[in-house]
Amino acid sequence: MPVPTVAQPTLSIVGRSDKFPVRRIYLVGRNYLEHIREMGEADERDPPFFFQKPTDALVADGRVPYPAFTDDFQYEFELVIAIGQAASDLSPDEALGCVYGYGVGLDMTRRDRQREAFKRGLPWEIGKSFDHSSPCGPIHPVSLCGHKLTGSLELSVNGVVRQRSVLEKMIWNVPEIISQLSRQYRLMPGDLIYTGTPDGVSAVVPGDRLVGTVEGLEPLVVDILPPLLPNAAAR
Ligand code: MN
């Protein structure tokens, strides 16, 4: 058997022909008050926290097969930060200096499995860190779009608006997220940070089309496809 080759996941870069190589995918949990309230599982005073998805969970072509092992496959629409240089232990004032650009992404979630893990005090991977769980649109360099500290974000499903908020409603804003994460991990070029979702999350099924927009960035279009694997939920 030959030594296998493994593809480097990448995203398109707006205005360039070369690709943005993705190293790690970090995500913020609980970063909009209304979403904490709709989930009903956290103390509103708890600080946001970070988790990760595997890099090969990235979906760059908008095609997301319905996953195995769930009956409650939900979207969470989020602004995504793309890191362009190594950084650790940054203050919020220093934090924006390591940002290459921004994109829009979906933190797809097996909500039934996430809730079970939460109730039993188990890790979240089964609910969050599965194949095709990280769709992301093209990266916009800061030189094109500036820093995304304000502006609207909106997700529609089959043409109906389901999530609508503004970036100003983040509990931790972009510089604070980067500062906090840089104290927990050494940030490196190619890292993505999903910044948390506003309220309005719900389930999707094969055939659904999701369109997410953040003001000033190209929209993300995602189609939910039939399952690749038998949908055997853990019951
Ligand atoms: Mn999320």
Evaluate whether residue 214 is within a structural domain.
no
- The CATH number assigned to the domain holding 75 equals 3.90.850.10
Q: Tell me, in angstroms, the distance from the centre of ligand 1 to residue 215's CA.
A: 19
Evaluate whether residue 95 is within a structural domain.
yes
Total count of domains within the chain = 1
Evaluate whether residue 232 is within a structural domain.
no
Evaluate whether residue 222 is within a structural domain.
no
pLDDT in tens, 6-40: 999 999 999 999 999 999 999 999 899 988 889 88
Residues whose Cβ atom is located within 5 A of ion ligand 1: 76, 107, 197
Q: Tell me, in angstroms, the distance from the centre of ligand 1 to residue 97's CA.
A: 24
Instruction: Enumerate the β-bridge partners of residue 65.
Output: 225
- 32, 7, 51, 20: which is closest to 140 by C-alpha? 20
Mean pLDDT score across all residues of the chain: 95
pTM score above 0.85: yes
Q: Tell me, in angstroms, the distance from the centre of ligand 1 to residue 34's CA.
A: 13
Evaluate whether residue 39 is within a structural domain.
yes
pLDDT in tens, 139-158: 999 999 999 999 999 999 99
Paired sense of beta strands 25-29 and 49-53, if any? antiparallel
Q: Which two tokens stand for residue 72?
A: 């409650």
- 26, 18, 30, 21: which is closest to 187 by C-alpha? 26
Q: What is the dihedral of CA 151, 166, 219, 173, to 10 degrees?
A: 80
Evaluate whether residue 32 is within a structural domain.
yes
Q: Which two tokens stand for residue 82?
A: 């793309």
Q: What is the pLDDT of residue 235?
A: 42
Evaluate whether residue 118 is within a structural domain.
yes
For residue 78, what are the domain limits?
Answer: 10-149+167-203
Evaluate whether residue 157 is within a structural domain.
no
Q: Tell me, in angstroms, the distance from the centre of ligand 1 to residue 70's CA.
A: 17
